[in-house]
Each structure stands twice: as structure tokens, then as C-alpha cells.
Amino acid sequence: MVKAGIIGSTGYAGSELVRLLMGHKDVEIVWYGSRSYIDKKYAEVYRNMFEIVDAVCMDDNMEELADQVDVIFTATPQGLCASLVNEEVLSKVKIIDLSADFRLKDVKVYEEWYKLEHKAPQYLDEAVYGLCEVNREAVKKARIVANPGCYTTCSILTTRPLVAEGLIDPNTLIIDAKSGTSGAGRGAKLPNLFCEVNENMKAYGVATHRHTPEIEEQLSYACHQPVTINFTPHLVPMNRGILVTAYASLKPGTTAEEVRAVYKKYYDHEKFVRVLDEGECPETKWVEGSNYVDVNFKIDPRTNRIIMMGALDNLVKGAAGQAVQNMNLLFGFDEDEGLRQVPMFP
């Protein structure tokens, strides 16, 4: 039985980790960390856990936690994990970080986009970017797994096969993404109040969103050349879900059959990426509560551009579910253990 600790267990991603790990037959949660609710019963913070979780919330003492568990999940704001991790901790446990602290390999890029000084740049080269469908073998041997962002997971899985195979010009790539409000976290913020979000849709972080360099970096690895994109996120009045619609110039003469063959090549053997049938568009409601990503495409022959589409649940495959998937790889479990939930509807 693997023992797990969660730092940041009372945020939305942290609570989703608790929900998923409670259904994992090989894991026991022994530490529910939360700076905001120290000594408060976890079930008082999340009443859905009444008579399910009896533990109280503890602080974020990573060194003490490392003596008690095999894996630590950090579902915390940027900067915290990097400020806590050290060689002594890493000699004892695996770290799966749901923040952006170890996703970007260039410390200057991290500090420019996140406006933070990186506290542990010595681990950037070692950390493995935990997009399981791309880095599965490297994850298995990692000490630090950088769990990808929600927008990035959807954007990369939707576009990467065509970038990697040279079927699109990656520097013409435009990614338009929509997210439910849980992606902004549980903290009380004026823009996230019901009256601000309901009956409204808005773009934000235009040309400045922090997931932009993460998408660019990973797509650059895929095609072995620098990639620059336009990425625009939008907030929509729903709890969960991300929908990506991406546009790019298609290699002249490329047929829909060739594009579909590429998607099948990359995803036919992937448990959690579903390539939809021709003419079907991904919808957030068909992946809600699950670790699935639905993808598809449409070629516009008039403009010789391709529209690539993807949908996922930002709290599951976009955060906690992917973290559990990474944990399964680290400890040799079936990759879908604890993640076999059928999408919820309605």
C-alpha cells in the first residue's frame, strides 16, 4: 500500500485528488495538508467527505511529511513546492507537483512569466514533464514530476500529433481555449463571483497567459524547432471543463484521411485520449468527471487551414487525474487504476 500526502488538499485540485485517491485500491492518504485550515476536520471543509474522511488538516511541512509517505502531491500556488523541496526530501519520496514550478526548463522564462524568483532551479533539468502520453517512460524513473497545466494538457494533446508529423506549420498555430471557473481556484476573487461570471464570457490573459510558454516549449520538442503561438483563454460560466479550438495552416495536399491516420497512430493505444468519429465535435459535457480527453479535427479546404478541437475536465485530466496517472506510472500500477470513472452526465 502506497502512502500519500497532499499539500494543498483543500483547493479544488487538491480535493479532486482526495476524491480520486479514495477510490484507488493501492493508496492510503495519510496527510491532508492545508495552510488555511490547520487542525480543522477535512470533512468540515468539504462536506461531501462527511463520514468518508475523518482526518484533520495539517500544515505544509514537507520534511516531516517525507518521513511518513512514499509520494507527496503539491496542489499549491506557484513557488511553494520549489521553496520546500530539497535533496533530503527527494531521497525519501517522489514529488508530483501540480503547480508550474518545474514545468519550464529555462528558469528565466519561468521568472519572466510568473514574476517569481525560482527557489530550486537545480532541479529543473531533472524534473520530468508529466504528460503521460508523451513522457511515459521518463515518468517511471522520475523523482520530481511536473504535472502539466490544464490548458496545456488539452492544447498539446489536441495539436501535438500534427506538429510532430509536420502536417501543420506550428508558427501559424492559434489556440482559442475556454475554461470553467474552477480553473481559477477556490480563493475568493471578485472576477470569480457568481454575478461576475454568470451570463458572461470573457477573454483574459490575452497575449500574456502563463500557459503560453509551456505549450510552446512542449510543441517545440515535438517538431525539433522553436514554436511561437497565439494562445487566448476565456472564462465561461460553468464549473468544470476546457474546450480548445486550434487553427493552423495545413501542409498543402494533406487529406483528411492522412490527418486521421496520424491521430490514430498517436492515440489508438492510449486509454484516455479518444479520437472522435468524423463530423463529431468534442464537448465538455462528455468528459466531465473523467480522465478522458476527446479530440477531433475539420479541414477547411477554402483556406487550407485545419481546425483541431479538444475537450477535457480541467480538474481531472487537467490536474488531479493526470497526477494520479503519473503516480501509477511511478509505482508500477495499472495506468488507469483509480481513474476508471465513466464521464458524468447530466
Choosing from 81, 150, 154, 223, the catalytic residue is 150
- Do residues 324 and 339 lie in contact, with contact meaning Cβ atoms separated by under 8 Å? yes
d(CA 203, CA 176): 10
The residue with cell 513546492 is 81
Count of alpha carbons within 13 Å of 85, Cβ hemisphere only?
30
Amino acid found at 209: H
Paired with 202 in beta bridges are 235
Question: Smallest Cα–Cα separation from 175: which of 253, 234, 220, 222?
Answer: 234
State the pairing for strand pair 94-97/144-146: parallel
Q: Mention every residue, 6+ apart, whose C-beta is less than 8 A from residue 178.
A: 201, 233, 234, 235, 236, 241, 242, 243
User: Given the DSSP bridges, would you call strands 305-312 and 242-249 parallel, antiparallel or unpaired?
Assistant: antiparallel
Q: Which residues of 199-231 are buried (b: 16+ CB within 10 A; e: fewer)?
A: eeeeeeeeeebbbbbbbbbbbbbbbeeebebeb
DSSP 141-206: T-SEEEPPPHHHHHHHHHHHHHHHTT-B-GGG-EEEEEE-GGGG-SS--GGGSHHHHTT--EE-ST
The C-alpha cell at 153 is 494538457
| 150 assigned to active site | yes
* Count of all residues that appear for the chain in the document: 346
**What's the CA gap between 91 and 87, in Å, rounded?**
6
Active-site residues: which are they? 150
